[in-house]
Amino acid sequence: MPTVKAYAATSATEPLVPATIERRDVGPKDVLIAIRYAGICHSDIHTVRGEWGPITYPQVVGHEIVGEVVEVGSDVTKYQAGDRVGVGCMVNSCRECENCRAGLEQYCLNGNVGTYAGVDRDGTITQGGYSTHIVVDQDFVLRVPEAIPYEAAAPLLCAGITTYSPLAHWNAGPGKRVAVVGMGGLGHMAVKIAAAMGAEVTVLSRTLAKQDDGLAYGAKEYFSTDDATTFEKLANHFDLIINTVSAPLDVDAYLRLLRLDGTMVNVGAPPEPLPVTMFTLFGNRRSYAGSSIGGIAETQEMLDFCAERGVAPETELISADQINEAYERVMSSDVRYRFVIDTATL
Ligand SMILES: [Zn+2]
Ligand SMILES: [Zn+2]
């Protein structure tokens, strides 16, 4: 088994440190990828700190991965050495359940295998993208179009697809009013993608600190949610609200901003349950929904869409020794808008 360089968590409380991990030998359907860039997602931090449940250490995280194919297994037909590829939040699924057969592997009824801290079908614990190489089944590898700059492509594999999927599913487009709640890693992608789809985009953020950015990324309007008049002005206004905030908020107050048949979709995940008043849903026949990443086919569709429309995340490139500092900055929302690790520095 090849041993590769990585940056790993050794406990829930210690900083991440340089490490080596083993990757499996390249099987018949596997692709060996030399990772060039890996994005830092909030989920990485929750996971290594054990906030989403206990994990086994050492653990390498990172599920926004782009790089180059260096070797393929004997039965691989989709990729060859030199291809520009990406890997997102999952690396396997059962492929047999009705959701997998529908191309919605993220909703695999037997559980998809996360790119890190997941138990793969061979029983091993998956290790993520903060490393120099990864071995992935060809069916879970994405093609990254040349038009997307390499380091900007990484965050599309989680932040991009997590926002693209609900926007596509609920038909964001011309004539639709879309609100994006929160202007972080996910939120800024939601703004760019919704605007590229032709929707009329409004940002709802606690402060107006990122207003110039929001408008530059395609939003028509930008409101502070600390200002109570915002909720009066925008009552019964939106067709779709994408909530990217993972802190608890007053769901009813946001639901009341939906017009007839409007839907509010959570892609941020607060740890505690949030109360919803049924009468708020009765009004305007509103819906409250959740959405989780996207299937492999839809992730490819998203990458192709972003390449065609010139949509790319805003990134700040860092070296491996800045990962711990970057985590602190993510926790204090001090990033515009996604950290990306240059894996040459591992
Ligand atoms: Zn993520
Ligand atoms: Zn399945």
Query: Residue 74 burial (CB < 10 Å; 0-12/13-18/19+)?
Result: exposed
Do the Cβ atoms of 60 and 128 come closer than 8 Å?
yes
Q: What is the pLDDT of residues 277-300, one digit of tens each?
A: 999 999 999 999 999 999 999 999
Ligand 2 centroid distance, CA of 342 (Å)? 33
Which ligand is the nearest neighbour of the Cα of 108? 2
pLDDT surpasses 90 at 345: yes
Query: Residue 70 burial (CB < 10 Å; 0-12/13-18/19+)?
Result: middle
Task: Give the up-direction half-sphere exposure of residue 96: CA atoms within 13 A in the CB hemisphere.
Answer: 2
Q: What is the model's pLDDT at position 269?
A: 82
Do the Cβ atoms of 269 and 291 come closer than 8 Å?
no
Q: What is the pLDDT of residues 144-162, one digit of tens each?
A: 999 999 889 999 999 999 9
Angle, CA 160 vertex, CA 44 and CA 61 arms, to 5° = 20
Q: What is the model's pLDDT at position 301?
A: 98
Do the Cβ atoms of 252 and 284 come closer than 8 Å?
no
Please name every residue paired with 346 in a beta bridge, in sequence order, or none if there are none. Answer: none
For 108, 183, 196, the CA distances from 22, given in Å and listed in that order, are 27, 37, 41
**What are 13-16's contacts with CB under 8 Å, separation 24+?**
13/49, 15/324, 16/48, 16/130, 16/323, 16/324, 16/327
Which ligand is the nearest neighbour of the Cα of 113? 2
Which ligand is the nearest neighbour of the Cα of 156? 1
Ligand 1 centroid distance, CA of 158 (Å)? 5
Q: What is the model's pLDDT at position 106?
A: 98
Q: What is the model's pLDDT at position 268?
A: 87
pTM > 0.95: yes
pLDDT surpasses 90 at 35: yes
* Residue 308: pLDDT band with limits 50, 70, 90: very high
Q: What is the model's pLDDT at position 2?
A: 87
**Could you tell me the two tokens for 183?**
């202007």
Please name every residue paired with 290 in a beta bridge, in sequence order, or none if there are none. Answer: 266
First to last CA, the chain: 20
Ligand 1 centroid distance, CA of 88 (Å)? 8
Ligand 2 centroid distance, CA of 121 (Å)? 12
Which ligand is the nearest neighbour of the Cα of 185? 1
Report the alpha-carbon distance of residue 237 to residue 53 in Å, rounded.
Answer: 38
Per-residue pLDDT, averaged over 177-200, amounts to: 98
Which ligand is the nearest neighbour of the Cα of 95? 2
